[in-house]
Amino acid sequence: MRVAIIFIGTNRYINFLPLYYENIHKYFLPKSEKTILAFTDGTGDFPDDVKVYHQEHLEWPYITLKRFEIINKAKTFIKDFDWCVFIDADAIPVSEITEEEFFTDKPFFGVHHPCHALGMPPHTKYPGAFETNPKSRAHVTPDDDTTMYWQGCLWGGKVPAVFDMIDELEKRVNDDLEDDVIAQWHDESQLNKFYIENKKDVHTLGPEFAFPECFADHCNFPQKIVHLAKENSKYHV
């Protein structure tokens, strides 16, 4: 199985790539052929199995808001892969993750936001972290199924279905921008709206796949992929 793994690391986030690369190969999908696509403004030598796309750094929040548009630059290259997986630059696999536990027959996957899983504010009551501004294409209403909230640090799906999603979310983001609107949690808000609309097609991974190192003492689940505490991580970065 061929898997394209998306790394977006501009500015100082390129510094996460060595550990990201090492742990992807050590722990993540051991039976698959993996290629990391690095969208970065960094320079220097990269491993042969990293395909580099130049991406200038965008000011916050555009570097995350424009994520779908950035990934779409590689659509032609990724079309021959089986799966496309986006993992945040500072989200690092720390124990073996097999194909059997990660993939299903559903075309999309996402990860249960750990703070939602733990019942931390603002997730304790509606609308939680969902976008409710009706001017945004990401907005939800009380009629929507908001029982699950996905974190934007890990998502993806089968090729080519995942690019139907990426195309749609790129369009929604840009339509919002034309209306001078930015969703509350940027790309994550847009992803949640799409997953609510297509919930039966989404395989939801547990919060252990987005383990928040900064809230480690509050977590009652194991560590599969750790979202690093950038200032005081116990992992070398």
217-228 pLDDT, tens digit each: 999 999 999 999
Q: Which residues lie below 8 Å from residue 223, measured CB to CB, with a gap of 6+?
A: 94, 95, 208, 211
Pairing type for strands 211-212 and 225-227 reads parallel
Averaged confidence pLDDT in the chain: 96
Q: Of 144, 133, 150, which is closest to residue 191 (Cα–Cα)?
A: 150
Q: Which residues lie below 8 Å from residue 134, measured CB to CB, with a gap of 6+?
A: none
Amino acid present at 14: I
List, as one string, the DSSP characters of 180-206. T---TTHHHHHHHHHHHHTGGGEEEEP
- Rounded Cα distance between 184 and 195, Å, is 16
- Rounded Cα distance between 165 and 197, Å, is 11
Check residue 230 and give its pLDDT: 74
Check residue 16 and give its pLDDT: 96
Domains of the chain, with CATH numbers? 2-227 (3.90.550.10)
CA-derived radius of gyration, the chain? 17
Does 107 sit behind a cis peptide bond, omega within 30 degrees of 0 on the bond before it?
A: no
Q: Of 112, 83, 113, which is closest to residue 99 (Cα–Cα)?
A: 83
* pTM as predicted: 0.96
Q: Of 151, 163, 137, which is closest to residue 71 (Cα–Cα)?
A: 163
168-198 pLDDT, tens digit each: 999 999 999 999 999 999 999 999 999 999 9
116-168 pLDDT, tens digit each: 999 999 999 999 999 999 999 999 999 999 999 999 999 999 999 999 999 99
CA atoms within 13 Å, Cβ hemisphere of 139: 11
74-107 pLDDT, tens digit each: 999 999 999 999 999 999 999 999 999 999 999 9
**Is the Cβ–Cβ distance between 92 and 23 less than 8 Å?**
yes
Q: Of 150, 236, 226, which is closest to residue 185 (Cα–Cα)?
A: 150
